[in-house]
Amino acid sequence: MLIPWGGVGCCLSAAALYLLGRSSGRDAEVLRSVARAGSTKDLAAILDTASKVLPLVVAVSGRVGSDTPLICQQSGMRGVIVEETAEQHFLKHNDAGSWIQDSAVMLSVSKEVPWYLDDGTGRVFVVGARGAAGLVLTVASEVFEESGRTLVRGTLDYLQGLKMLGVKRTERVLPTGTSLTVVGEAIKDDVGTIRIQRPHKGPFYVSPKSIDQLIMNLGKWAKLYQLASMGFAAFGVFLLAKRALQHFLERKRRHELQKRVHAAAAQKQAREAEGGNGTSDVDSNNKKDQLVLDICVICLEQEYNAVWPHVLLYELLFSFDELSTLPEKN
């Protein structure tokens, strides 16, 4: 029986989606249990009374600010995180001899300066935001610079099987003044500076969405993953059951066909024995085995005189398999 890989793949996909749904559901429950600081002033008071042993995971909101903001070279925007990328776009020969477009990253630079959230009552510094979930950088500028065309450059590129199109430069930035919600571990040092960083174990989000929107979004994804998991599981079970039923019916058909062939051979042997002159039992058994091999599977009475090439190997394999199970007579 061939393994129905389609059904197995669907079942494995269902298991993976189920685990993703469970993970999203757990994240939503964790966010529901996070302490919400109404303001930076309230957060400072919570930290003064909180336990020094257990980490305090909180959610705070405010506008992005920095004492030393970065200035984008192309757009001139001010931000606290700037990512610059440069992609070389070109045409190249494929195996068929035609030109296809491709690209390669030439430069990727990321810059970040100390920054904070300000809600009007105080500042909360954010540490390690680039590794947080939910962080979205705004595309500040996107410029395409065409490559210069010279005879020497064009000849070299053609010999290499390339045609340079140009360089695409992109700037992404987290602008100052952006409203954000940060979920992480809150720490207050000796001079009273409050920082939020990635906890050793727990959620770490930097998102333009509110805490309620984050919880709703995670709950929605958890439900979608569960529904998709149920669909893949049902379809996978259907494929497995269909293949098992086909295998069972095929074996049953082969078994019934072999029974009919043996019965017809026995009837023909009996008719010939009645009109014969009493051959030996050994000759009778040998003749019966030969009749089983030579009898037509359509009429079940005459010896076959033709065979379909595409089923010859199939029928021979299962005929010899069944004949090997026949009892031997001494």
Per-residue pLDDT of the chain (330 residues; tens, 9 = 90+): 567 788 888 889 999 999 999 988 888 888 888 888 878 888 888 887 766 667 788 889 999 999 999 998 888 899 999 999 999 888 887 777 787 888 888 889 999 999 999 988 888 999 988 888 888 899 999 998 887 666 666 666 666 677 778 899 999 999 999 999 999 998 888 787 889 999 888 889 999 998 889 899 989 999 999 999 999 999 989 988 888 888 888 888 888 888 887 887 777 777 777 766 554 554 555 555 555 555 565 555 566 666 555 445 445 545 545 445 445 544
Residue 43 burial (10 A CB sphere; 0-12, 13-18, 19+): buried
321 within a domain of the structure (yes/no): no
CB count in 10 Å sphere of residue 101: 10
* Distances from the Cα of 85 to the Cα of 12, 50, 168, angstroms: 38, 43, 8
48 within a domain of the structure (yes/no): no
89 within a domain of the structure (yes/no): yes
Contact 198, 119 (CB under 8 A): no
Same domain, 152 and 163: yes
38 within a domain of the structure (yes/no): no
- List alpha helices for the chain, DSSP H: 5-32, 40-49, 151-159, 211-275, 281-294, 309-323
Domain that holds residue 261: 1-33+210-266
Looking at residue 154, its pLDDT comes to 64
**Closest of 295, 290, 303 to residue 260, by C-alpha:** 295
CB count in 10 Å sphere of residue 254: 16
Same domain, 147 and 214: no
